[in-house]
Structure 1
Amino acid sequence: MTRPVVRTAHGLLQGFTEAGIHKFRGVPYAEPPVGRLRWRPPGPMAEWTGIRDATEFGPICPQTVGAVFTTRASRESEDCLYLNVWTRSLDSRARQPVMVWIHGGGYLGGGGCEDGTDGSQLAARGATVVSFNYRLGAFGYLASPELGSNFGVQDQIAVLRWVRDTIDQFGGDPGCVTIFGQSAGAHSVRTLLSCPAAEGLFHRAILQSGGGERFAFDRREPNSRTCAASRELIARLGGGNAEDLRRVPTDAVKAASHLFSGVIPRRGRVHTPANLAWMPVADGEIVPADNPPPAPVPLLLGYTRNEARYFIKPGMLPYNRLLLWAMTRALAGSEARAVRSALAAGKPPMYERFDRAYTSAVFAEPLLATAERLSDLDRVFHCYRFDRVSPGAARSADLAKHTAELRYLFGTLTADGYDGTDRQVSSWMQARWIAFARDGAPADESDWPAYGDGGHVTLIDGVPAQGRIDEDPVVPLQHRIRLSSVAGDLG
């Protein structure tokens, strides 16, 4: 195993090379936000002397829930602002497309070191891949007039500045940077698309299962849940001035963060991501107070067919007609009866109706609303729906649940549960995502048309090829989804 050394503005880094991919782990990108630096913007990283070891992942932010895959960090700490790089070239002239991954986890859990989103396979295809940790829960998204807000957003912007200034040393092109993320990571991408401080730091954006318009059923004032949770947390920690709060033990903040996070379900209720408290707020400084259109960069956005099955499991609740009535009333309002009627067509099992209603309201509808908004702005962009069900997902009844596409995208399919078709889908996805990162489009128009006037959404199920336009059997709350059925035969 070779041990390459790279010179950065802050000092020398020594990583390792494995199967032709150079890997650098646990690279600090800002001062540790601990002690007096808790709930402050990320400060510039100090230079170091000698050669810094970059073979182990840095600590992840303290967390209780949210991680999708196994996090390979050895510990949790508020000292968590570290990134990782995968690349097949360390030549500053290589000018590879850069792909910066923002992990999901509801702004509550996860990290850039999760095994399912390892960057090795994308790097082998010619991208310089970056992942990173950012502050989570109340550590990153508490909003207070005295303490500030949007610390996790500011961490993400700090990473993009590091990429701009340093990524050429890892074979990357700082003028060709794609930010991509899933769930809360996609919501982060959408936030960055509107942040003045992030302007010019990236050039393409991919939003997977998140980051669309506000939920149609969410009538609360923007920021209200986060601000209320912040007030309750501060009171729980004893109030006091900012410096007193910065001295509260990490574990106490972590416990209070979970208590007020919105993940603790009320009896008999179906919770959705709309219940989560810790997330970016429109503070008018870091995040604009209005709802500006996203930055005019190429966009790729999509969702999975059975998103809901990640959140509502068989047996979790009594999936009966009474609960379906309550759920559709909460999600669809005056359209609840029409939605229930559409869900009943063909008399599918009751659990399937819950899946389809939840997926439509929480994921499909916000994405389609964003697509219509972008179309009105005459923007060219591409959409997808991930439908592929692996043999393992079929056995477990997870189907194409929330997060299902991630192991395909990163090429981290395990030996158990996936077959040759899945590996072809994985290869196809990696090629299209890298093509988008390089060229601003996932493929030519014959392979993956832009959304355009026809509302084209490419279905990823098998290896896609263009097909007919059809209507989704689920009625979204404001639109009917028109899907290009492209589940073509494998060649």
Structure 2
Amino acid sequence: MTLITTTHGTLRGTTEHGVAVFRNIPYAAAPTGKLRFRSPAAVTPWDGVRDATAFGPTAPKNPYPAPLDELLHDPDIPGDACLNLNVWTPSPGKARLPVMVWIHGGSLRNGSSAVPTYDGTQFARDGVVLVSLNYRLGIEGFGVFPDAPANLGLRDQLTALRWVQENIGAFGGDPANVTCFGESAGAISIAALLTSPYAKGLFHRAVLQSGAPAAVPPTTARATTKAMARHLGIAATAKAFSQADRTELLAAQAAVTRGGNPLTGGAGFHIVIDGDVIPDDPATASAQGAGHAVDLLLGTNTDEYRLWFVPGGLVDRIGRATLRAAVLKHRAPWRSPRVYRTARRGASPGEILGAIATDKLLRIPLNRLADARTGRPGQGGGRGRTFFYEFAWPSPVRELGACHALEIGFVFDTLDSPDSRALAGDTAPRALATAMHTAWTSFATDGDPGWAEWSEERPVMTFGVNGSEVVRAPRERERRLWG
């Protein structure tokens, strides 16, 4: 039994594998009743000792649709108090260890901190205090209403980061050395927070795994809210939605967003340019210097698209006509099919389209972000270092290749977890996990993951079948197509 006192009260944790673990720590009040569709409210302090040995409730969400549900495990823990976080620490007390805060992905409508792959034991073993958090998802976290604040899920993340600043010292962490890292929607969230005035000083380094700066105007983001309102037969207001049964909300959300994914589009949820938490488009703000004082590690997986294109057979249903139409619709460079095919002899039209989509949505925006930071001080002075990586090891499972989310088990060094095995199989190279995990830990410790900073030579640390090696300007002809 391990006891720690926070600003809200005393917690009882547990010791697992030589590491102290505290789960289900509330960082904001349960978003129920009058607090639904409202900014996160303060936690009411408790008397006595609060048990913190089991994961707390997850945010309301639907399961992943088939066949993704077989590849992406998504625990669902009932309860209203979903605004909670977890801490793994090797040294509770007066130590001042680097802190890493994990923000999970899931298209802003799935995921939680209870996913086994996100276990923080290995980070704590290596001298890092690891924090993982839940935040509101879907319509309750990213709905857009005329009578409620936007970006509630992002406001939850900010509240959790403030909790870290106020409390992490009691767990042996250094509040002056905090690294935010996340994947997919988690990375997109962090990229937005880099440009938010509310996040200033809350973290000092950031890792963007397969997620680039992106946000949309309220009029665009409101489309999903309006579609759900029509489905439910209610007004598109927070007042009306707060009175609706949560089960019915989730059913409407599933119906409206069915069939969409990050690459093919469709109804979904987005971070909103709200003039408050996110004053401007994060991509534009980043290009102008916002967040440049923060050290940044960023990158993608080689075959991001295969998670969405392969399991359901979409990759085989795409022919040449569909490829040409998609290139026109999404305004990809007109020569891209021919150029991408040159480096991929024998690739199908679906595979060519997937590679183009991966670059358009992820690799090219992240390259542009890295370029914009090179040699340029951040707003308010100072320049953070920038490092680029690519995860290229191909999974043997269902021909997924180096697909979206595959790298997470390597970063956390949790290849034995059941959800990591679902994506990577039973023979994933542990040496590669050691290399990746060590790089992330080193970056969080002193801002240096172990390879050259981004420059005109475009050094990319590539984690692949040959281990880890720096490749300079990979697939440069394809990148240059995008200007």
Say whether the 8 Å CA contact 2:460–2:472 is kept in structure 1: no
CA distance in structure 2 between the aligned counterparts of 1:204 and 1:329, rounded to whole angstroms? 38
* Residue aligning to 1:286: 277
CA distance in structure 1 between the aligned counterparts of 2:117 and 2:180, rounded to whole angstroms? 18
* Residue aligning to 1:122: 123
Say whether the 8 Å CA contact 2:272–2:278 is kept in structure 1: yes
Say whether the 8 Å CA contact 2:137–2:153 is kept in structure 1: yes
Say whether the 8 Å CA contact 2:298–2:389 is kept in structure 1: yes
What does 1:200-239 correspond to in 2, within 5 Å? Answer: 200-212=201-213, 222-235=217-230, 236-239=232-235
CA distance in structure 2 between the aligned counterparts of 1:478 and 1:240, rounded to whole angstroms? 39
* Residue aligning to 1:487: none
Q: Which amino acid aligns with 1:163?
A: V
In structure 2, the residue corresponding to 1:453 is in which secondary structure?
coil
CA distance in structure 2 between the aligned counterparts of 1:475 and 1:292, rounded to whole angstroms? 22
CA distance in structure 2 between the aligned counterparts of 1:104 and 1:183, rounded to whole angstroms? 5
- Deviation for aligned residue 1:400: 0.5
In the alignment of these two chains, the number of paired residues is: 455
What does 1:40-55 correspond to in 2, within 5 Å? Answer: 40-55=38-53
Q: 2:306 aligns with which of 297, 305, 309?
A: 309
Q: 1:436 aligns with which of 443, 446, 458?
A: 443
Say whether the 8 Å CA contact 1:88–1:123 is kept in structure 2: yes
CA distance in structure 1 between the aligned counterparts of 2:256 and 2:473, rounded to whole angstroms? 44
What does 1:378-457 correspond to in 2, within 5 Å? Answer: 379=383, 380-389=385-394, 393-414=395-416, 422-443=429-450, 448-457=451-460
Q: Relative to structure 1, is the Cα distance of residues 242 and 189 closer, same or farther in structure 2, using a 3 angstrom cutoff?
A: closer
Q: Relative to structure 1, is the Cα distance of residues 473 and 413 closer, same or farther in structure 2, using a 3 angstrom cutoff?
A: farther
CA distance in structure 2 between the aligned counterparts of 1:189 and 1:29, rounded to whole angstroms? 18
2:371 equivalent to 1:372: yes
Structure-1-length-normalised TM-score: 0.86
- Deviation for aligned residue 1:370: 1.5
Say whether the 8 Å CA contact 1:194–1:292 is kept in structure 2: yes
- Deviation for aligned residue 1:173: 0.5
In structure 2, the residue corresponding to 1:260 is in which secondary structure?
helix
- Deviation for aligned residue 1:352: 2.8
What does 1:60-75 correspond to in 2, within 5 Å? Answer: 60-66=58-64, 69-75=72-78
CA distance in structure 2 between the aligned counterparts of 1:14 and 1:442, rounded to whole angstroms? 34
Q: Which amino acid aligns with 1:239?
A: A
Q: Which amino acid aligns with 1:318?
A: R
Say whether the 8 Å CA contact 1:122–1:129 is kept in structure 2: yes
Say whether the 8 Å CA contact 1:237–1:253 is kept in structure 2: no
* Residue aligning to 1:87: 89
CA distance in structure 1 between the aligned counterparts of 2:285 and 2:475, rounded to whole angstroms? 30
- Deviation for aligned residue 1:425: 1.0
Say whether the 8 Å CA contact 2:107–2:262 is kept in structure 1: no
Say whether the 8 Å CA contact 1:106–1:273 is kept in structure 2: no
Instruction: Using the TM superposition, name which of 276-285 and 162-171 deviates more.
Output: 276-285
Gapped regions of structure 2 (runs ≥ 5): 378-382
Q: Which amino acid aligns with 1:359?
A: T
Say whether the 8 Å CA contact 2:147–2:239 is kept in structure 1: no
CA distance in structure 2 between the aligned counterparts of 1:193 and 1:468, rounded to whole angstroms? 27
Q: What percent identity do the matched residue pairs reach?
A: 33
2:460 equivalent to 1:478: no
Say whether the 8 Å CA contact 2:100–2:178 is kept in structure 1: yes
* Pairwise CA RMSD: 2.4
CA distance in structure 2 between the aligned counterparts of 1:323 and 1:298, rounded to whole angstroms? 41
In structure 2, the residue corresponding to 1:323 is in which secondary structure?
helix
- Deviation for aligned residue 1:361: 1.7
CA distance in structure 1 between the aligned counterparts of 2:182 and 2:305, rounded to whole angstroms? 18
In structure 1, the residue corresponding to 2:366 is in which secondary structure?
helix
* Residue aligning to 1:252: 248
- Deviation for aligned residue 1:148: 2.0
Deviations 1:101-154 (A, max 9, x none): 000000010101101111111111110000011000000011122122111011
CA distance in structure 1 between the aligned counterparts of 2:416 and 2:480, rounded to whole angstroms? 34
In structure 1, the residue corresponding to 2:352 is in which secondary structure?
helix
Gapped regions of structure 1 (runs ≥ 5): 215-220, 480-491
CA distance in structure 2 between the aligned counterparts of 1:234 and 1:320, rounded to whole angstroms? 36
CA distance in structure 2 between the aligned counterparts of 1:81 and 1:160, rounded to whole angstroms? 12
Q: Relative to structure 1, is the Cα distance of residues 53 and 353 closer, same or farther in structure 2, using a 3 angstrom cutoff?
A: same
In structure 2, the residue corresponding to 1:233 is in which secondary structure?
helix
Say whether the 8 Å CA contact 1:105–1:184 is kept in structure 2: yes
Q: Which amino acid aligns with 2:272?
A: V
- Deviation for aligned residue 1:382: 0.5
* Residue aligning to 2:9: 11
* Residue aligning to 2:380: none
In structure 2, the residue corresponding to 1:57 is in which secondary structure?
coil
CA distance in structure 2 between the aligned counterparts of 1:363 and 1:241, rounded to whole angstroms? 33
CA distance in structure 2 between the aligned counterparts of 1:254 and 1:78, rounded to whole angstroms? 15
Q: Relative to structure 1, is the Cα distance of residues 165 and 395 closer, same or farther in structure 2, using a 3 angstrom cutoff?
A: closer
- Deviation for aligned residue 1:426: 0.8
In structure 1, the residue corresponding to 2:317 is in which secondary structure?
coil
Q: Relative to structure 1, is the Cα distance of residues 310 and 142 closer, same or farther in structure 2, using a 3 angstrom cutoff?
A: same
Q: Which amino acid aligns with 2:437?
A: Q
